[in-house]
């Protein structure tokens, strides 16, 4: 009985020894890294939003009112700046993705067009070769049938000549 085969699980790691795909592959890896960073930034922004809501819920004391408002304003400015940076990164990733997508789509389209062109050329060459071979076959068959007709005529003539010789010999023997 053969030993059981273990199924091989695909690896999703980005550190491969050899990769194919060129610039789109590296762009995809960069986009994944940026996406991970964006997810982390989103989580941080959400945490900051939660902290901001909690900070607003706590009413400042009168003695710390001016300091807290500056601190709150600083926090709001930081969150806004983080949102802007996040939006810029998101737009950059989207632009990179669309550029990579259009490049890949154009490459695939040109590859298929080129393949179709080569296939059409090969098909045309095969058809022309087939037509020439069919003409050659027809010519050979015509020559064969002509030779067969001539061969039959020669056979009939030879058989008649042989009959005459045999009849002559029979007459001599009598």
pLDDT (tens digit, 9 = 90+) per residue, 10-56?
Answer: 555 444 444 455 566 666 777 777 777 777 766 776 666 555 555 55
Mean pLDDT over residues 99-113, rounded? 95
Per-residue pLDDT at 141 exceeds 70: yes
Residues in the chain: 174
pTM score: 0.40
Contact 52, 14 (CB under 8 A): no
pLDDT at 17: 45
Sign, Cα dihedral of 120, 122, 126, 128:
positive
The more confident residue out of 1 and 114 is: 114
For the chain, the structural domain boundaries read: 23-132
pLDDT tens digits, 68-104: 888 899 999 999 999 999 999 999 999 999 999 999 9
Q: Ramachandran region of residue 22, left (φ > 0), alpha (ψ -120 to 50) or beta?
A: left
Q: What is the pLDDT of residues 151-173, one digit of tens each?
A: 999 999 999 999 999 999 999 98
Compute the distance between CA of residue 120 and CA of residue 107 in angstroms, rounded to an integer. 20
């Amino acid at each position: 009985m053969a030993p059981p085969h273990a199924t091989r699980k695909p690896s999703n790691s980005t550190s491969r020894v050899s990769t194919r795909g060129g610039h789109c592959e590296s762009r995809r890896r960069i986009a994944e890294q940026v996406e991970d960073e964006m997810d982390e930034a989103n989580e941080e922004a959400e945490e900051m939003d939660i902290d901001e809501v909690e900070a607003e819920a706590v009413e400042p004391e009168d003695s710390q009112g001016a300091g807290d408002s500056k601190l709150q304003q600083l926090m709001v400015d930081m969150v806004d700046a983080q949102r802007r940076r996040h939006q810029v990164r998101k737009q950059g990733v989207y632009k990179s993705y669309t550029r990579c997508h259009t490049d890949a789509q154009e490459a695939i389209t040109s590859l298929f067009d080129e393949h179709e062109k080569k296939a059409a050329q090969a098909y045309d060459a095969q058809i022309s070769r087939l037509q020439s071979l069919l003409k050659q076959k027809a010519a050979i068959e015509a020559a064969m049938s002509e030779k067969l007709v001539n061969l039959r005529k020669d056979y009939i003539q030879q058989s008649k000549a042989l009959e005459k010789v045999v009849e002559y010999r029979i007459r001599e023997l009598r």
